[in-house]
Structure 1
Amino acid sequence: MNSKVNTRPLEIKIEREKCEREHLFFTRRFFMPRMGFKFSVNWHHEYIAWAIDEVIAGRIENLVINVPPGSGKTELLTNLIARGIARNQRSRFLYLSFSQSLVEDVSSTARNIVKSEDFQQLWPVKISTSTDAKASWKTTVDGYEAGHVYSASMGGQVTGRRAGTLADDGFTGAIILDDPLKPEDAFSATARKKANRKILNTVNSRKARSDTPIILIMQRLHVEDPTNFVMTGNVPGEWEQISIPALIDDAYIATLPEHIQKLVPRDVERDEKGRQSYWPMKESLQSLLQLEQGGQDKDGATVSRYTFSSQYMQAPKKLGGDLVKSEWFGRYRELPELLWRAVFADTAQKTKEHNDWSVFILVGMGVDGKLYIIDILRGKWEAPELNRQAKAFLNKHKAFDWRTKPIRYMKVEDKASGTQLIQTLAHETEIPVLPIQRNTDKLTRWMDVTPHIESNYEQQPDNRFVMVPVDAPWLQPFFDEVEGLTADMTHDHDDQFDPLADAINEAKIMMNYSPPAS
Structure 2
Amino acid sequence: QANFTPFALEQLEGRVYELAPHQQIMCDVLDRVISGEIKRLIINVPPGYAKTAIAVWAFVARGFAINPSSKFLHISYSDTLVNDNSSNIRDIINSSDYQSLFPYMSFHPDTQAKGLWKTNRGGAFRAASSGGAITGFRAGLIGSSIFSGAMIVDDPLKPDDAYSETVRGFINGRWKNVFRSRLASPDVPVIVIMQRLHIDDFTSHLLNNSGEEWHHLVLPAYIAGNKPYQHEGRAIPIPYDLPSGSLWPQKYDDATALDLMSDGQYSQRPIKDGGEFFGEAQLLVEGRPAVLENRVDQVYAVIDTALKDGLEHDGTAVTYFAHNKIAGIPLVVLDYDVLQISGDLLDTWLPTVEHRLEQLARDTNSRQGSIGIWIEDKASGTVLIQQAQRKGMNVYAIDGALTALGKDGRALSVSGYVNRGMVKISAGVYDKVCVYRGVSRNHFLTQICGFRVGAKTPHGMDLLDSFVYGVAIGLGDSFGY
TM normalised by structure 1 equals 0.51
Task: Please list the CA deviations of residues 81-129 of structure 1 after superposition, one character each: whole Å capped at 9, or x if unmatched.
Answer: 1111110111000000002211111111111111221111111212012
Letter in 1 for 2:267: M
Offset of residue 197 of structure 1: 0.9
1:485 matched to 2:455 = yes
Partners of 1:487 and 1:185 lie apart in 2 by: 21
Letter in 1 for 2:160: E
Instruction: Provide closer, same or farther for how the CA distance between residues 38 and 164 of structure 1 changes in structure 2, counting only shifts above 3 A.
Output: same
Q: Would you say the 8 A contact 2:260–2:267 is kept in 1?
A: no
Letter in 1 for 2:265: Q
Partners of 2:18 and 2:123 lie apart in 1 by: 31
Partner residue, 1:101: 80
Offset of residue 170 of structure 1: 2.4
Partners of 1:487 and 1:243 lie apart in 2 by: 29
Partners of 1:37 and 1:27 lie apart in 2 by: 13
2:62 alignment partner, one of 83, 108, 112:
83
1:43 matched to 2:12 = no
Offset of residue 199 of structure 1: 1.6
Partner residue, 2:331: none
Partners of 1:487 and 1:97 lie apart in 2 by: 32
2:245 alignment partner, one of 262, 276, 279:
276
Partners of 2:14 and 2:276 lie apart in 1 by: 48
Partners of 1:283 and 1:172 lie apart in 2 by: 37
Secondary structure of 1:60's aligned partner: coil
Partners of 1:321 and 1:108 lie apart in 2 by: 38
Q: How does 1:17-166 map to 2 (within 5 A)?
A: 23-77=1-55, 78-124=57-103, 125-141=105-121, 146-166=122-142
Q: How does 1:181-196 map to 2 (within 5 A)?
A: 181-196=157-172
Partners of 2:216 and 2:116 lie apart in 1 by: 29
Partners of 2:245 and 2:61 lie apart in 1 by: 34
Gaps of 5+ in 1: 1-22, 267-274, 293-304, 326-457, 459-481, 491-518
Gaps of 5+ in 2: 231-236, 280-418, 420-451, 461-481
1:317 matched to 2:271 = yes
Partners of 2:173 and 2:193 lie apart in 1 by: 17
Q: Would you say the 8 A contact 2:168–2:201 is kept in 1?
A: yes
Letter in 2 for 1:198: R
Partner residue, 2:202: 226
Asked which structure has the greater CA Rg, the reply is: 1
Task: Please list the CA deviations of residues 463-488 of structure 1 after superposition, one character each: whole Å capped at 9, or x if unmatched.
Answer: xxxxxxxxxxxxxxxxxxx9422365
Q: How does 1:226-305 map to 2 (within 5 A)?
A: 226-232=202-208, 234-252=209-227, 260-261=240-241, 264=242, 266=243, 276-292=245-261, 305=262
Letter in 1 for 2:6: R
Secondary structure of 1:69's aligned partner: coil
Task: Please list the CA deviations of residues 395-450 of structure 1 after superposition, one character each: whole Å capped at 9, or x if unmatched.
Answer: xxxxxxxxxxxxxxxxxxxxxxxxxxxxxxxxxxxxxxxxxxxxxxxxxxxxxxxx
Partner residue, 1:463: none
Secondary structure of 2:249's aligned partner: coil
Instruction: Provide closer, same or farther for how the CA distance between residues 314 and 157 of structure 1 changes in structure 2, counting only shifts above 3 A.
Output: same
Q: Would you say the 8 A contact 1:92–1:174 is kept in 2?
A: yes
Partners of 1:322 and 1:64 lie apart in 2 by: 26
Task: Please list the CA deviations of residues 157-190 of structure 1 after superposition, one character each: whole Å capped at 9, or x if unmatched.
Answer: 1111110012732210000000001111111111
Partners of 2:457 and 2:118 lie apart in 1 by: 46
Query: What is the aligned residue count?
Result: 282
Q: Would you say the 8 A contact 2:41–2:192 is kept in 1?
A: yes
Between 118-127 and 218-227, the greater mean CA deviation after superposition = 118-127
TM normalised by structure 2 equals 0.55
Secondary structure of 1:131's aligned partner: coil
